[in-house]
A and B are shown apart, each in its own frame.
Chain A
Amino acid sequence: MSGSRPLPEPTPETQHFWDGTRVGELRLQRCNDCAHVYFPPRPFCPACASRSVSVFAASGRGHLDSYVISHRPHPAFDGHYAIALVVLEEGPRMMSNIVGCEQTPEALVLDMPLEVTFEPQNDSITLPLFRPAAVGNKP
């Protein structure tokens, strides 16, 4: 990466997520009443509106759901780069980038297994990125 990315500014509702990435955990939330697992963070369940929810560390495994490869220059990326949608093993979908992999349609195959990796940006923000999984996990 050549330049800086626009970095997130955590809010009280999302602080646990960004605290998690800094220590190498991808934190999701689960409803204590209906067991729904969801993302992005919020202090209530989007399925049943219960305020009784828990934070837990996800497996970090998922698969490539969709992506585009941007051909326009971006200060934080060298050359063409993929913006990816990753579906996590626990269910939620999140946006990220795929590292350790050519940024080409041939290398980026839908449904390929991925695993999270963490890339510190500064003292407070670490971004969750994904790389091809070392050990296969089927979607």
Chain B
Amino acid sequence: MTRYANQVAIVGAAETTELGVIPHMSQLQLHADAALNALADAALEPSDIDGVATAGESPTVVAHYLGITPNWVDGTAVGGCSFMIHVRHAVAALLTGQCRTVLITHGESGKSGIGRGRGRGSAASLQGQFEAPFGVAGPPTLFTLPVLRYMKRYGLTPEQLAMVAVVQRQWAGLNPRASKREPITVEDVLDSRMIAYPFHLLECCLVTDGGGALILTTADRVDDFPQPPVYVWGTGESVETPMVSQMEDLTSSRAFAVAGPRAMSDAGIRHGDVDHLMIYDAFAHLPIYGLEDLGFCGRGEAGAFIEEGHTAPGGSLPLNTNGGGLSYMHSGMYGMYALQESVRQLRGTAPAQVDGAEVSVCLGVGGMFGASGCIVMGNQPKS
């Protein structure tokens, strides 16, 4: 137990009005659409917000666009888990009185590319010098590089890797907002187009448009808001390396292994206390790494754990219940959608609701395996 497990709550949460392909909105407007939906969810006006955090756009841009005068901003941008890290930083800011009400926004025109800057690492960066010359072409050729070593070390089979996508599609089938809902089999996955051996198309995340926003405040104010509060019980963050080639261990994410256990120990929970789990799944191996780095499975055991149905609908550890980045949506920085699903599950409003979900763990990854943020949430104050 730590100092803050009862003291900060998520009181507003929403995604963009639409998800999927949204060519009529710029990336900045996706931030704003999600933010306005979250403000409505919390019955707040922009002028009630005094803290702004975002990634992908500068907090300066977002605050000005929404007409907010913040006295706290966080522009931490370490990839798709930035929003988990914003939650962690918001906890510290709220508890030290730097601000009272924090808005965290995400918007990304990942599919349509409307109003989206396309920055590239410079040729003088370490990645530019020591990875870019060798034909790397974005996440499908970088995030994926470690998995053959994992497969050889632990005997993970192609069928088990494919099963990750199959199970997540089972969850997506229960979710009307999911981009891909029709059931798939292991054979479908293995027969889908090869993207970067050993990854097939159905083992790679979607590319879609969308956004999401969260509003956090101190727990003494939760009765002022219409929605049931979701308490932030514990948080963790870390970074490892911007270069996948320099990971300490190709079969484990050091950032996962720091951020995840820290969040769980801050929350004062054990694995058996967890009712619901989200692990950022840009590619099919991430839930396998995440289950092991969080300690839900022993080394080399997560593939079989998923194959046996423990994370599927009706299983003991419901995982990625919105369908995940593989089937629900993935705009590029998916972490916000994982957080939204944890909030829905703890409010009891998820399309694929887990009965009696009281504690959710949400593990994010960013910049390939470069960074991680983890948030533990509960629907009651931690006792």
Task: Using CB atoms and an 8 Å cutoff, list the residues of chain A in contact with chain B.
Answer: 5-11, 14, 18, 39-40, 65-72, 74, 76-77, 80-81, 83-85, 93-97, 105, 110-111, 121, 127
Q: Interface centre among A7, A8, A40, by most B CB within 10 Å?
A: A8
Assess A9 versus B134: contact at CB under 8 Å? Given A71-B193, A85-B245: no
**Number of CB contacts from chain A to chain B under 8 A:** 112
Q: Could you tell me if B250 and A85 are in contact, using CB atoms closer than 8 angstroms?
A: yes
Q: For the complex, what is the distance from the CA of A44 to the CA of B198, rounded to whole Å?
A: 37
Name the residue of chain B whose CB is nearest to the CB of A125. B133
Interface segment among B124-132, B208-216, B288-296: the answer is B124-132
Q: For the complex, what is the distance from the CA of A11 to the CA of B245, rounded to whole Å?
A: 19
Using an 8 Å CB-CB cutoff, how does the interface string of B240-271 with A read, 1 for contact, 0 for none?
00011110001000000000000000000000
Q: What are some 12 contacts across the A-B interface (CB < 8 A)?
A: A6-B132, A8-B124, A9-B124, A11-B124, A66-B149, A68-B199, A70-B196, A83-B134, A85-B145, A95-B136, A110-B149, A110-B152
Give the shortest distance, in Å, between B265 (CB) and chain A (any CB).
27
Residues of B with C-beta under 8 A to A96: 134
B interface majority secondary structure: mixed
**What 3 A-B pairs are tightest by C-beta distance, nearest first?**
A8-B129, A69-B197, A9-B123
Name the residue of chain B whose CB is nearest to the CB of A69. B197
Residues of A with C-beta under 8 A to B145: 66-68, 83, 85
Give the shortest distance, in Å, between B90 (CB) and chain A (any CB).
32
Q: For the complex, what is the distance from the CA of A14 to the CA of B129, rounded to whole Å?
A: 9
CB within 8 A of A97: which of B135, B140, B244? B135
A interface majority secondary structure: loop
Q: Could you tell me if B149 and A10 are in contact, using CB atoms closer than 8 angstroms?
A: no
How many interface residues does chain B have, given as a range?
35 or more
Q: Could you tell me if B250 and A66 are in contact, using CB atoms closer than 8 angstroms?
A: yes
Name the residue of chain A whose CB is nearest to the CB of B123. A9
Q: For the complex, what is the distance from the CA of A5 to the CA of B123, rounded to whole Å?
A: 11
Q: Could you tell me if B135 and A71 are in contact, using CB atoms closer than 8 angstroms?
A: no
Assess A95 versus B131: contact at CB under 8 Å? Given A68-B141, A70-B137: yes
CB within 8 A of B196: which of A8, A68, A110? A68
Residues of B with C-beta under 8 A to A66: 145-149, 250
Q: Could you tell me if A67 and B135 are in contact, using CB atoms closer than 8 angstroms?
A: no
Q: Could you tell me if B197 and A71 are in contact, using CB atoms closer than 8 angstroms?
A: yes
Name the residue of chain B whose CB is nearest to the CB of A46. B246
Assess A40 versus B126: contact at CB under 8 Å? Given A71-B193, A71-B194, A110-B149: yes
Residues of A with C-beta under 8 A to B195: 70-72
Residues of B with C-beta under 8 A to A72: 137, 140, 195-196
Q: Interface centre among B136, B144, B147, B245, by most A CB within 10 Å?
A: B245
Assess A95 versus B134: contact at CB under 8 Å? Given A68-B145, A70-B196, A83-B141: yes
CB within 8 A of B133: which of A5, A14, A70, A80? A5
Q: Interface centre among B123, B134, B196, B197, by most A CB within 10 Å?
A: B134
Q: For the complex, what is the distance from the CA of A65 to the CA of B243, rounded to whole Å?
A: 15
Residues of B with C-beta under 8 A to A97: 134-135
Q: Could you tell me if A40 and B133 are in contact, using CB atoms closer than 8 angstroms?
A: no
Give the shortest distance, in Å, between A95 (CB) and chain B (any CB).
4
Q: Could you tell me if B122 and A9 are in contact, using CB atoms closer than 8 angstroms?
A: yes
Residues of A with C-beta under 8 A to B141: 68, 70, 83
Name the residue of chain A whose CB is nearest to the CB of B152. A110
